[in-house]
Amino acid sequence: MKKIQFFLLFSFTLISFNSFAQYGYGGYGNGYGNGYGNNYGMGMSQVEQNAMKPKEIPAEVTVGKIMEKLKPELNLDELQTIAIGNVYTDIIKSQTAIMKDEKLSQEEKSNEIKALFEVNERKVNEYLNEEQRQKYKALKEERGNNKKEKKKKKKKED
């Protein structure tokens, strides 16, 4: 049933884009000569392009959410919270830069992000005591298991 819905949605979207391509964006000006309609079809303005882009969530906001979860679970003190928060901020900013780099292939991006996460884990562990390291490791494993379960559920639904 989901495949049929996907096919119908895909077909409708394709037909919609086809009609915009034939008639031009906003009038007949691009598709049928120069005298019919206005010239909005020449392209979207910079404002429209920026409005269509999803807004990026600042790294500090993401780090804040991560630290809200980690601080009570690992029983972090304020110094540890700040230091680990800074590590996560740097990693997220680096990850964003890697994802935006158009020169890198998808595989290269994936490899660099994996390396970032390894560095992240080492830096975070430097600020934790032995008990906290064990809890941190358990949290990571639990998170990994949750992701695997979600993937299995998605496969079963398809």
| Pairwise CA distance, residues 5 & 1, whole Å | 6
Above 90 in pLDDT, residue 126?
yes
**Which are the contacts of 140, defined by CB distance < 8 A and separation ≥ 6?**
121
**Which are the contacts of 74, defined by CB distance < 8 A and separation ≥ 6?**
80, 128, 132, 135, 136, 139
- Give domain limits for the chain: 2-52, 59-157
pLDDT higher at 149 or 134 = 134
pTM over 0.75: no
In three-state form (DSSP H/G/I as H, E/B as E, the rest C), the secondary structure along 55-110 is CCCCHHHHHHHHHHHHHHHHCCCHHHHHHHHHHHHHHHHHHHHHHHCCCCCHHHHH
Identify the burial level of 123 via C-beta atoms within 10 angstroms of its C-beta, where 0-12 means exposed, 13-18 middle and 19 or more buried. middle
Question: How far lies 128's CA from each of 76, 81, 115, 121, 140, in Å?
Answer: 8, 10, 20, 11, 14
pLDDT at 109: 87
Mean of pLDDT values over 57-79 = 89
